[in-house]
């Protein structure tokens, strides 16, 4: 009877050690996900937030570059669309999301 109680006591201690070793083996994976968040995901979310703010701040007279590479001056601003003057008396209607960059004022005239 003495041997049986010793065997049960040893069996009860073994799961605690395996739980601890499981946590230690999962620690590198958890650390990798934390690093992934701070190196990749967080900067991407910050970039998307800046892009949304830039699109919301578009106004008449801004000089912009589109995703297709067109450069022009905004002549009309709507809720979802903008009208872009790409040359003298030539206007193109685009979605706001097509704008990738706002150029400094006077950029288009200095290039012509």
| pLDDT (tens digit per residue) in 40-89 | 999 999 999 999 999 999 999 999 999 999 999 999 999 999 999 999 99
Domain extents in the chain: 1-57, 59-111
Q: What is the pTM of this model?
A: 0.63
Residue pLDDT, tens place only, 96-105: 999 999 999 8
Which of the listed CATH numbers 1.20.910, 1.10.8, 2.30.30, 2.60.98 matches domain 59-111?
2.30.30
Q: 98 and 66 in contact (C-beta within 8 Å)?
A: yes
Per-residue pLDDT at 23 exceeds 90: no
pLDDT grade for 10, boundaries at 50, 70 and 90: low
The 8-class DSSP code of residue 84 comes to E
The dihedral over CA atoms of 102, 103, 106, 109, expressed in degrees to the nearest 10, equals: -100
- Which pLDDT score is estimated for 112? 46
- DSSP 3-state helix, strand, coil percentages of the chain (rounded to 5)? 55, 25, 20
Work out the average pLDDT over 25-44. Answer: 92
């Amino acid at each position: 009877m003495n041997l049986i109680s010793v065997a049960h006591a040893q069996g009860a201690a073994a799961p605690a050690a395996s739980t601890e070793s499981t946590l230690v083996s999962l620690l590198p994976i958890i650390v990798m996900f934390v690093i992934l968040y701070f190196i990749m995901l967080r900067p991407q979310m910050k970039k998307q937030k800046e892009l949304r703010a830039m699109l919301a701040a578009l106004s008449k007279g801004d000089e912009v570059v589109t995703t297709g590479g067109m450069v022009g001056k905004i002549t009309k601003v709507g809720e979802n669309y903008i009208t872009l003057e790409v040359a003298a008396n030539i206007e193109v209607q685009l979605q706001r999301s097509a704008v990738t960059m706002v150029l400094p004022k006077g950029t288009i005239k200095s290039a012509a």
